[in-house]
A and B are shown apart, each in its own frame.
Chain A
Amino acid sequence: MSFDFAIEGEKLMMLVYGIIGFAAVMGLLLLALGKVDSPKDRWVAIGFLAPAGILLSIGLIYPAIRTLTLSFFDSSSTSFVGLDNYVWMFTHAETRETLRNTALWVLLVPTLSTAVGLLYAVLVDRTRFESFAKSLIFMPMAISFVGAGIIWSFVYAYRPTESDQIGLANQLVVWLGGEPQQWLLEDPWNTMFLIAVLVWIQAGFAMVVLSAAIKAIPSEITEAARLDGVTSSQMFWRVTVPSIRPALIVVLVTISVGTLKVFDVVRTMTGGQFRTSVIANEMYNYAFRYDEDGKGAALAVFLFLLVTPIVFYQVRLVRQRRKEAR
């Protein structure tokens, strides 16, 4: 038995100290801000923004710039190597495979999750068990990627033909008269089976957002269409889908960004072996296991570049909204 009350107590004390320290800092800060208050807002605003501002600078802005610089240096960050790390990324066979896999993930996960989420949202809309039915699909969102990885590794578990199967996927194959498969070993299908896991997690997100959008469609529109005698599929393609276009875009974009950075699923289920690795997993390997900071940094920067167009698009949306609000 490896449970030591002294050690665990010490950890919990850490938690208590952390919370006390935090409460003290917040209390003092608000007290001080109450004192400096003047008709001019500037100093108070700086005070309010200070904690977030400091943390963002040391936790995101500075590290991002530093990572960019590191990506032009060698593995020990001592000599400048120009674009070598980037050239390596696109020429090295294994990394190219990683890029191919990431592209597959980014193409398939958003489209499949959105498709399933939308279909399900439409099907259960205004039925008797709607909220229960939605919780079922939504539940995987509460499960960690690691947990999901284990759940699905178990579904994919393999036993030789002569013994009983313990994985559901292979049992179904056997019941249908097939041979059990090593789902996670054979490239390129293994990547597809990993992708299924993320689709399983993300469909709930798509479903919730799209379901809310569907409910927001003005009832006059659906009523008018119904009076015109449209079929359900016409209703879906000509009324529902166009009306929820903005929500569809948000969902696709959000899932794409999340998918680009997928790490846990791959790491838990295959460890990136059997040609299933993705950029985020290689980034971790190069930066923290092989001590190749330059290459790790270059992979991180590449991830950043992939999501930049999305930033611009969203910044535009937010600025529009702020202008309208005024």
Chain B
Amino acid sequence: MSSEGRVRKRLTSRTASLVAIVIAVLWTTPTFGLLISSFRPELEIKTNGWWNFFGDPQVTMANYEEVLLNQGLLSYFINSLVITIPSVLFPVAFSAMAAYALAWTRFRGRDWIFIGIFALQIVPLQMALIPMLQMLSPVQEALIWPYPTATVWLAHTCFALPLGIFLLHNFISELPGDVIEAARVDGASHARIFRQVVLPLIVPALASFGIFQFLWVWNDLLVGLVFAGGGPDNAPLTVRLAEMAGSRGQEWQRLTAGAFVSIVVPLIVFLSLQRYFVRGLLAGSVKG
């Protein structure tokens, strides 16, 4: 490389780093500011900017106490957990079964069913909400079901299946065919092959879809709002937070701490399992 070229290269790499740093700062500062603020006393948050914290650090846990106990976010946190765990488990299992059938059993119309399910991914959530609610509320009343949580599980499971089947099918169909054929020849049933051969091999794929679904359900507002109602008995964190943002938009000491309570779980899941999440993303798809 000529010396002129080298100089130019260094210059571009310097501006390149600068641009990268600017983007990185822009992308992290808002969250960082919120985190700092959530630990500042109410009066401080409301009268001066969080950047003043570094000149005059005052730390308090009062905001967290206030939102978790007095504002009841702890209850909503539990609701979110109760909603999320089954809403991840069910679709992962059902998708794996369906994906196995679509990849390794032979029957007429198989490809069309697969394409049909794939296409269902694009049906917007919004298309399903009104009839599903109309259908489920009489069932709920008839059963005198005190917790609509089960309806939320059902809704999330239905909406997750097209993506789940598509993603898992991509992995399952790429398993070595001779392993499965050999097991068939040995007289193993499909149910047994699925349990003992396929499931152990697709654990990473299950994990990546599981994380995807976890983040989706934990962060969902629309399904929670429509199916869980607004009360502390069933509604997830997001519903309560959205409500607080709407009605108490200036109570920053609550909003900052509340937002962090909702962010912390997905952030931990995300940071510890990022590898699987990225793999799921790269398997490439569209979420309805």
Could you list which residues of chain A lie within 8 angstroms of chain B, going by C-beta atoms?
1-3, 7-8, 11-12, 14-15, 18-19, 22, 26, 30-31, 33-34, 37, 41-42, 44-45, 48-49, 51-53, 55-56, 58-64, 66-67, 70, 116, 119-120, 123-124, 127, 133, 135-147, 149-155, 157, 163-168, 171, 200, 203-205, 208-209, 212, 229, 231-232, 250, 253-254, 257-258, 260-261, 263-264, 267-269, 271, 280, 283-284, 287-288, 293, 296-297, 299-301, 303-304, 307-308, 310-311, 314-315, 318-319, 322, 325
Contacts and interface: CB of A to CB of B under 8 A. Distances in A.
A154 B256 contact: yes
A59 B154 contact: yes
Given A123-B19, A142-B269, A48 B190 contact: yes
B252 A64 contact: no
B190 A41 contact: yes
A74 B79 CA distance: 36
Interface in B7-62: 8-9, 12, 16-17, 19-20, 23-24, 27-31, 33-34, 37, 45-51
B35 to A, nearest CB: 10
A67 B130 contact: yes
Interface string B221-247: 110011000001100001001100110
Interface in B155-179: 155, 157-159, 161-162, 165, 173
B197 interface: no
A9 B280 CA distance: 34
A307 B288 CA distance: 10
Contacts, number: 359
A307 B23 contact: no
A60 B123 contact: yes
A157 B149 CA distance: 35
A139 B49 contact: no
Given A2-B69, A62-B131, A136-B28, A8 B78 contact: yes
A145 B221 contact: yes
B119 interface: yes
A296 B107 CA distance: 40
A39 to B, nearest CB: 9
18 contacts: A3-B74, A22-B90, A31-B191, A33-B189, A34-B191, A41-B190, A45-B105, A56-B117, A139-B31, A142-B263, A144-B219, A150-B258, A154-B30, A254-B286, A280-B222, A288-B129, A296-B130, A307-B124
| Interface SS of chain A | helix
Interface of B: 1, 5, 8-9, 12, 16-17, 19-20, 23-24, 27-31, 33-34, 37, 45-51, 69-70, 72, 74-75, 78-79, 81-82, 85-86, 89-90, 93-95, 97-98, 100-102, 105-107, 110-111, 113-115, 117-133, 135, 147, 149-150, 153-155, 157-159, 161-162, 165, 173, 189-192, 194-195, 215, 218-222, 225-226, 232-233, 238, 241-242, 245-246, 249, 252, 255-256, 258-259, 262-263, 266-267, 269-271, 274, 278, 281-282, 284-287
A33 B193 CA distance: 11
The 10 tightest CB contacts between A and B, nearest first, are A59-B158, A144-B219, A48-B101, A37-B189, A142-B270, A66-B131, A52-B98, A63-B131, A63-B128, A41-B105
Given A141-B270, A150-B245, A257-B286, A303 B126 contact: yes
A140 B27 contact: yes
Contacts of B232: 2
Contacts of A62: 131
A60 B118 contact: no
Nearest to A62: B131
B222 A263 contact: yes
B122 A42 contact: no
A123 to B, nearest CB: 4
Contact of B158 (A55, A149, A165, A311): A55
Contacts of B218: 144
A8 B133 CA distance: 26
A171 B49 CA distance: 8
Given A164-B49, A261-B124, A52 B69 contact: no
Given A55-B158, A123-B23, 18 more contacts: A3-B75, A22-B86, A37-B189, A44-B189, A52-B165, A55-B161, A60-B161, A120-B20, A137-B24, A140-B27, A143-B266, A144-B262, A147-B241, A147-B259, A166-B47, A200-B30, A261-B124, A310-B122
A51 B127 contact: no
Contacts of B12: 231-232
Contacts of B75: 2-3, 7-8
Contacts of A135: 271, 274
Nearest to B226: A288
Contacts of A166: 45-50, 252
A254 to B, nearest CB: 5
Contacts of A30: 191, 194-195
Contacts of A60: 120, 123, 127-128, 158-159, 161-162
A144 B274 CA distance: 16
A44 B129 CA distance: 32
A117 to B, nearest CB: 10
Given A133-B24, A142-B269, A149-B245, A18 B219 contact: no
